[in-house]
Amino acid sequence: MEVALRNALHRELSRVFGTSWYDAPAMPLTTRAQDLVREAKAAIAHSRKPVIPPRVVAALSFGFWVSLLGPGPSGLYEMRLWRPILHHAFPHAKLPRKDVHHPLDQLRLLRNRIAHHEPILTRPLAEDYQSILQILSWICPDTATWVAHHCAIPAVLAARP
């Protein structure tokens, strides 16, 4: 889901601001978001690889992408990103920004807990999985169907003690 989300957002931002949208003067990024872009570019340069849009996009964290769907300071992202641009990344959902952002932010928290080796057993994991499929269906129903068909999470949850 993370890859599908970032690719969908990148596609829409590229359509408006060009493939290096993160460097476009008209791109309304918060100072924190700009810092994350700089850090991603520095990490790529440090690895002695060309700093090109596909690498920058891949290096940006899930939290970065989810934050673009937040309101932003004083509603900046709502007005300058969501309404004119980013809602197109979810062509199969006619929802307000907050109804897209909230489940993604909850999944960001889950992902962070997993990444930090924190316990997740008390979470409603079946609901989290359904949320992933729902978000994928907003982006691309075929991708959601593919993930549901190939994913082992339902079997793992069914076998849980």
- What is the torsional sign of CA 9, 88, 129, 154? negative
d(CA 71, CA 19): 23
Question: What's the pLDDT at 161?
Answer: 64
Tens of each residue's pLDDT in the chain, 161 residues? 999 999 999 999 999 999 999 999 999 999 999 999 999 999 999 999 999 999 999 999 999 999 999 999 999 999 999 999 999 999 999 999 999 999 999 999 999 999 999 999 899 999 999 999 999 999 999 999 999 999 999 999 999 76
Question: What's the pLDDT at 5?
Answer: 98
Question: What's the pLDDT at 121?
Answer: 87
Residue 83 has φ and ψ, to the nearest 5°, of: -60, -50
Q: What is the 3-state secondary structure (H, E, C) of 88-155?
A: HHCCCCCCCHHHHHHHHHHHHHHHHHHHCCCCCCCCCHHHHHHHHHHHHHHHCHHHHHHHHHHCCHHH
Alpha carbon of residue 1 to chain centroid = 8
The total of other beta-carbon atoms located within 10 Å of residue 101's CB is 21
CB 153 within 8 A of CB 159: no
Question: What's the pLDDT at 113?
Answer: 94
d(CA 161, CA 69): 37
Please give the single-letter amino acid code of residue 40: A
